[in-house]
Chain A
Amino acid sequence: MPPLAAFFLKRLLTALPVLFIVLVGSFLLLEAASGDAVDAYIARSGAMDAEQITQLRTEWGLDKGPLYRFGAYISTLAHGDLGWSTAFERPVTSVIAERLPVTLLLMSIATGLAFFLGSLLGVVAGARPGSLRDRILSTGSLALYAVPGFWLGLVLIVVFAVDLRWLPIGGIESIASDKTGLARLGDIAVHLILPVCALAMVYLALYLRLMRDRMAEIWRDPFVKGLEARGLSRRRIVWRHVARNAVLPAITMLGWQSAAMLGGSVVVESVFNIPGFGRLAAEAVARRDTPLLLGVLLCSAITVIIANLLVDLAYGKLDPRVRIGR
């Protein structure tokens, strides 16, 4: 088997039990809930007689045992069906498919920005550990690391949308603007600036610290003395050698950070009124939509698994000591 295929197969085999545990866990959690989707439905749609309620319960399979419901859920899952969203009265798959792209866009831009800028500043700080600029950047990153994303989002709104009126206050694009093509893309980009910043800042601080700390360690590695002895310029040693070595552990962080960022997108999307996957999670909880919440949990687990897979692939390319498929 080609090494890449073997790698994917191996990852799939480890991912399946993990996904199953996620399913069991989230299902158990929701089984423990008092009140079901029908209760929520009644609360929303007003009075219903007992017969209608029973009928609805049978229709949604709520009169059977939990094991039955779980089995039914698994079997529908096997057909690529995530069930019926009671809140949206549409298949869960279609609700998620509609919401996920926005969040993936938001997350990937935020990840890119946080990683790129964070590592860059980390190199600046780590180029001379203990120097003034290192102390300023390290302290700054520590402070930034303490800022909650949703609050930062509000502050950004106050400054850039309310006071300065430079950027839109929320949403993903201008309402009822019939922009198409590039104009629409530009409109979305403008709407994304503040949410991306709110989401990215914490991780920017994280990557800054990670890069800086790792570089400080690598400076003590004997090979750096070897490079100095060969008369290489400081700039070359910093960028081509020390930073290059330090970036590898930062890359391994990217995969698991995607989980944290998905969590962060819940609040950030709520702050900026972005109709994304994150806000969907909050809506599913607020509207007691069990199938939707299960779908959201499962999809975020799959997203995190895929992100980790991509990161491992990239790591295998970047660290010559690791060979995929061996």
Chain B
Amino acid sequence: MSSFRIGAALLLLLVLMALFAPVIAPGDPLAISGQAMLRPFESEAHLLGTDRLGRDVFAGLVHGTRTTLLVAFFSAAAALIIGSIVGTISGFLGGVTDIVLMRITEAFQTVPGFLLALATISVTGPSVPTLVLAISLGNWTQAARVTRAEVLSLRERDFVAAARTLGMRPFEIAFREILPNAFGPTASLAAISVATAILIEAALSFLGFGDPNRVTWGSMIAEGRTVLRAAPYLSIVPGIALVVTVLSVHLIGRGLSRTERLQP
């Protein structure tokens, strides 16, 4: 349980940072705010230093939390929703629908999620909604498989038979009776989905395919890379923020799966 608490505390801190970003670091984080290439702790006004253009690293870090959490949360949610809908339909209807949907799922699994996100971004252009779409496209298959397996085992249960005799329509049964019951195991994928989404978003913006109008940790790392020899901290600091965020999500996930395992 303690790993859950540490994770939850860290994530809460990050969420607060994201919510109060304009208060903590007022002004546009992309604007030049001082002398360029200040080292961390060199200047009181720029605690973590400034980049090549004189933008404040701390402000970038704080505002970057917003992009990271926003994209990660929504794409993980989208992935879980898409996955559980596909899984429910597939498991509930069976037959040809099941075969076709599972082949499609397999096809999505076969293409590396990151390449799929990259291709999608190349079509739609980078913005927060398209990033959410691009990342969730490669991230829903696991949820579909888990939900389908769960639906298959739930399909024959008594309460489903009862719903049938009550004259509920198949889709009503699938989405009102089965899906809510199958959602538990699927939700346990949430932590891993969020973590994956954070890492894909970071990698995309590192390659320059992120939202150009927002500060992201990935783009900060890429920006720092051009002066890696002179100022390695410009790449290292946002990376640490990434590691801490992903770690907090993993800690929560581990805590959750432990408590779930303890329940009979």
Contact = CB atoms under 8 A, between A and B. Distances in A.
A285 B118 contact: yes
Interface stretch (A17-25, A175-183, A228-236): A17-25
Interface of B: 103-104, 106-116, 118-124, 195, 199, 202-203, 206-209, 221, 225, 228-229, 232, 235-236, 239, 242-247, 249-251, 254
Contacts of B109: 256, 259, 304
Given A263-B113, A266-B118, A285-B119, 6 more contacts: A145-B246, A148-B203, A155-B235, A158-B232, A285-B122, A304-B110
A95 to B, nearest CB: 16
A237 to B, nearest CB: 24
A158 B206 contact: no
Contacts of B251: 142
Contacts of A9: none
A150 B217 CA distance: 12
Contacts, number: 142
Nearest to B121: A285
Nearest to B141: A256
A262 to B, nearest CB: 4
B112 A260 contact: yes
Contacts of A285: 118-119, 121-122, 209
Given A26-B119, A151-B235, A17 B111 contact: no
A266 B120 CA distance: 15
Interface residues of A, number: 48
A147 interface: yes
Contacts of A148: 199, 202-203, 239, 242-243, 246
A143 interface: yes
Interface string A286-302: 10100001001100110
A264 interface: yes
B243 A146 contact: yes
Contacts of B110: 18-19, 22, 259, 301, 304-305
A266 B207 contact: yes
Contact of B107 (A22, A154, A264): A22
B103 A259 contact: no
Nearest to B104: A21
A154 B235 CA distance: 8
24 contacts: A18-B107, A19-B110, A25-B111, A30-B119, A30-B123, A143-B247, A148-B239, A148-B243, A151-B239, A151-B243, A154-B225, A154-B239, A155-B236, A158-B228, A256-B109, A259-B109, A270-B207, A281-B118, A282-B118, A285-B122, A285-B209, A296-B115, A304-B111, A305-B110
